[in-house]
């Protein structure tokens, strides 16, 4: 089987599997116990709430770091 035939075979398999996977996904969503999910996330949420607030997400510091690297590379040698 050459590469083109193999790709066609994979496309056919995924076309067939797509609707079946979507049906499984929809069933899992409908059967999900939201209260159980929330209960399992409760301790993580409470932990995050107790943390002291951060001055930033870290993106500002990351951008400063990138600017330093860029400036170092732009300097003539």
Q: What is the pLDDT of residue 76?
A: 67
54/5: higher pLDDT:
5
Range of the domain at 62: 3-74
Number of structural domains the chain divides into: 1
Query: 1 near 9, Cβ under 8 Å?
Result: yes
**pLDDT tens for residues 4-45?**
999 999 999 999 999 999 999 999 999 999 999 999 999 999
Give the span between the Cα atoms of 31 and 33, in whole angstroms.
6
């Amino acid at each position: 089987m050459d590469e083109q035939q193999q790709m066609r075979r994979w496309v056919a398999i995924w076309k067939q599997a797509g609707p079946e996977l979507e049906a499984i996904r929809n069933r899992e969503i409908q059967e999900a116990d939201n209260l159980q999910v929330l209960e399992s996330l409760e301790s993580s949420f409470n932990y995050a709430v107790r943390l002291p607030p951060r001055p930033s997400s870290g993106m500002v510091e990351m951008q400063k770091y990138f600017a330093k690297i860029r400036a170092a590379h732009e300097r003539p040698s």
